[in-house]
Amino acid sequence: MQPQWQGTFISEALPAAAGDPAAYFRREFDVAEPPRRAILRLTALGIVVAHLNGVRVGEDVLSPGWTSYRHQLDVLSYDVTDLIVPGRNALGAVVGEGWASGNLTWLNQRCNYSDRPALFAELELSYADRTEVVATDDRWRVSTGGVRDNGIYAGETFDARLEPDGWALTGFDDEQWSTASAYAWELGTLREPVAPPIRRQEELAPVEIRSTTDGRHIVDFGQVLSGWVRLSVTGPAGTTVTLRHAELLTPTGELERETNRTAEATDRYVLRGAGRETWEPQFTFHGFRYVEVDGWPGDLVADDLRAVVVHSEMTRTGWFATSSDLVTKLHDNTVWSMRGNFVGVPTDCPQRDERLGWTGDLNAFAPTGTFLYDVRGVLDSWLRDLSAEQAETGNVPWFVPDVLSNVCTPTALWSDVAVNLPWQLYQEYGDPEILRRAYASMTAFVRQVEALLDDRDLWSSGFQFGDWLDPNAPAKDPSASTTDRYLIAQAYFCRTTAQMASAAELLGKHGDAEQFGALRDRVRGAFRHEYVAPSGRLVCESVTAYALAISLGLLDPEQRSRAGERLALLVEQAGYTIQTGFAGTPLVTDALSSTGHLTAAYRLLLQEQCPSFLYPITQGATTIWERWDAVQPDGTLNSTGMTSLNHYALGAVADWLHRVVGGLQRLEPGWRRFRVAPEPGGGLTWARTAHETVHGRVGCSWSIEDGRMRLDVQVPSGTRADVVLPADPEARVVEVGPGEHCWQYDLAPVLSTAGTSTFESSLREVYNDATAWPRVSAVLEEYFPGASVETALGLFGDSPMSTLVDFMPERATDLERDVRAALAPEASA
């Protein structure tokens, strides 16, 4: 039932302009006796920080967060019983512009929801015989204080000299303050929060402080993060300390601020001059690793600064580590990117003039995100916003909240988040209510696209993002991928219709299920007729095209096998570098391993040459980059205008790490039944994976030592697991129930092809030998400098290594000797 609100929104009398200070509100009231209970209900158009009798209320930050304000605005509730005193009390709040009236998007549009910050509050005092309410109305006073400029992109300026002493305490003289004005806002938008609050999560100390010749300091916190810096400083009144934030340094050691684009990302603190002063911003946040400190009085030491990590309150539920430090770091970077982009809204990036809830990023990342954290609250709230905006315009926005109110035509992988995300959440948590709440939105999208199909049941028209950020696409046109964008659209719509048919059947909507099932069959048949030859080859021979056709179940068994061979060949011909963008990257390793090309999948995973999963790590990345080549080998930024260093979408490969390397695969919704089937390879000697499900923790740990395998499995109460013992000579598959289980056994004679090549092996076999190829390639580079491996594979890939001597008769003996030495078993010791 909707509450009967007694308050109204209040604001300053005039609209706010860029650079205006935050609004300070206050009101005093009398309490005759201590109430049994006191609840403060609070929200704002902007970001609000409340105080009661001088004490800050609540531990959350950036409240009330960002929702589709015109449809739903969160009202936070705080139990403040212990802060109420008999007699006179004072309630105050500071409201900054936040997402409501501040600059948003690359267009830097202001006043997207309101033309000024506004406050809404109700303090409910419950007594044995009555309830009293102190609400926002014309008895409140308003002025300004120490919080001056403030903006999500710009940063915050705080002048401690201007902060009114005791403004949130009783007895403060507010005679010079103005009477707050009523601000018109639909109270029907107010709701109890669905998402968890945003809070401070941890603090990082500087790992390095470097002083410049002109008195500035460059501070490295060692990790790209979302949040801000808290400082403690002593100095003369009026001294201004300026903090500029960036993700990267230039090769000369200065801040590289290009990734911020037009976001100033600068905080300023003006000292009061009264001993040691501690301050942190409250009305902004930044994506950064490095901070330039200018104007610091005296020596700057590590204890003076802390980076405060900020994101939505979420419980960690997924862990992974392996014997490769680089792969473990890839997973760690994925976790940090998710943390940095779950600040209320699941955003694309946290540092530049964007920070929007892009649907495609989240859709690609959903299986990974639901494994790593309990995201039910954050994403339930976000889906409600999506549904509300979709119902208003008829389209699923490309980002939610849709602050630009664009005409967002349906697009694959972006708009179909309306179906795929509820389906992923249902699979993870096993709660059909997730599907029931989203069902109207899901069906509206599918029926909208159905109406757009041509007379061959193909989604063949309209704008598509395609395989966004395919590394082969032009830098200025990331949607111009090598894969036909309508092939991608059709493939993803095949997945969407299949999910829709299953969801309808699950919810007992059998008529819908029959209709969506028929649609699924039609679009799948249309895909195969248009894009697939009977042999299994695709008309668009790209890595992404094959990954989609294989992983989304669009081929029959024989075609699938042939497609797997073609995919493995394409990946090989690309030198095991990444050839995929948003559409293909989440699926390519799975498409390889599931068609019997595990070695190729590991070669793709372990490649360090750009573009690759591990190249950014070799360049010092601590999060996932927007582009594979965002930073060049010389440390310079790849200037494309889109080079965020904290962009989680391409970290979607972590889903494959969890399932195939780590071995944990969900078989039934909510993990009632799961499969443990790790597939060791790539020279990895151990991996550990754990996931906290709704039933408890599932875990898999495997290790190889001296030719023996050890596998440990954890199965929680109420579940069962099918365990496939990796590289077991007897190929055992065991069903187990709750408890801790362990197997130890000698490995099958050949775990993988690694290290098995000889001088009579073909060039292709040696190339695909992850152990031998790095040594052999070094020899070949010496004898054939500058030669193209891809060309050699195309011409001589099936010829034995021994034929190489025919191309260098004058050095044949030396070449054969060095290649044989590189292939010798002892060379890998």
**Confidence at residue 787, expressed as pLDDT on a 0 to 100 scale:** 73
Q: Calculate the alpha carbon distances from 403 to 107, 109, 816 in Å.
A: 11, 9, 65
Report the percentage of the chain scoring pLDDT > 90: 88
Q: Say which of 292, 389, 626, 765 is annotated catalytic.
A: 626
Q: Using 50, 70 and 90 to split pLDDT, how confident is the model at 606? A: very high
**Confidence at residue 767, expressed as pLDDT on a 0 to 100 scale:** 77
Closest by CA position to 631, among listed 223, 218, 248: 248
Contacts of residue 690, Cβ cutoff 8 Å, sequence gap at least 6: 318, 319, 697, 698, 699, 700, 714
Q: Using 50, 70 and 90 to split pLDDT, how confident is the model at 794? A: low
- Please determine, for residue 540, whether its predicted confidence score (pLDDT) is greater than 50: yes
| CATH code that applies to domain 9-195 | 2.60.120.260
Q: 3-class DSSP state for residue 359?
A: helix
**Confidence at residue 560, expressed as pLDDT on a 0 to 100 scale:** 97
**Confidence at residue 795, expressed as pLDDT on a 0 to 100 scale:** 65
Q: Is 203 a catalytic residue?
A: no
- Please determine, for residue 829, whether its predicted confidence score (pLDDT) is greater than 50: no
Contacts of residue 483, Cβ cutoff 8 Å, sequence gap at least 6: 466, 467, 470, 540, 542, 544, 545, 583, 584
Q: What is the mean pLDDT of residues 84-105?
A: 97
The DSSP symbol for 661 reads I
Report the percentage of the chain scoring pLDDT > 70: 97
Q: Say which of 97, 247, 354, 572 is annotated catalytic.
A: 354
Q: What is the mean pLDDT of residues 752-776?
A: 72
Per-residue pLDDT tens for 352-390? 999 999 999 999 999 999 999 999 999 999 999 999 999
> 665-746 is classed in which CATH architecture?
Sandwich (2.60)
**Confidence at residue 475, expressed as pLDDT on a 0 to 100 scale:** 87
**Confidence at residue 789, expressed as pLDDT on a 0 to 100 scale:** 66
Alpha-carbon span 132 to 114, nearest angstrom: 30
Per-residue pLDDT tens for 652-698? 999 999 999 999 999 999 999 999 999 999 999 999 999 999 999 99
Q: Is 626 a catalytic residue?
A: yes
Are domains 199-312 and 665-746 of this chain identical in fold? no
- Please determine, for residue 749, whether its predicted confidence score (pLDDT) is greater than 80: no
The fold for domain 199-312 equals Jelly Rolls (2.60.120)
- Please determine, for residue 76, whether its predicted confidence score (pLDDT) is greater than 70: yes
**Confidence at residue 779, expressed as pLDDT on a 0 to 100 scale:** 79
CB 272 within 8 A of CB 364: no
Q: What is the mean pLDDT of the chain?
A: 95
Domain ranges of the chain: 9-195, 199-312, 318-661, 665-746, 763-828
pTM as predicted: 0.93
- Please determine, for residue 157, whether its predicted confidence score (pLDDT) is greater than 80: yes
**Confidence at residue 778, expressed as pLDDT on a 0 to 100 scale:** 79
Q: Using 50, 70 and 90 to split pLDDT, how confident is the model at 419? A: very high
Q: 3-class DSSP state for residue 315?
A: coil
Peptide bond before residue 64 is cis, with ω within 30 degrees of 0: yes
The fold for domain 318-661 equals Glycosyltransferase (1.50.10)
Per-residue pLDDT tens for 810-820? 787 887 788 88
- Please determine, for residue 532, whether its predicted confidence score (pLDDT) is greater than 90: yes
**Which stretches of 394-431 are DSSP H helices?**
417-429
Per-residue pLDDT tens for 484-493? 999 999 999 9
Q: What is the mean pLDDT of residues 545-557?
A: 97
**Confidence at residue 750, expressed as pLDDT on a 0 to 100 scale:** 55
**Confidence at residue 752, expressed as pLDDT on a 0 to 100 scale:** 42
Q: Using 50, 70 and 90 to split pLDDT, how confident is the model at 824? A: confident
**Confidence at residue 612, expressed as pLDDT on a 0 to 100 scale:** 98
User: Which residue did the predictor score with more confidence, 782 or 392?
Assistant: 392
**Confidence at residue 753, expressed as pLDDT on a 0 to 100 scale:** 41
Alpha-carbon span 186 to 694, nearest angstrom: 38
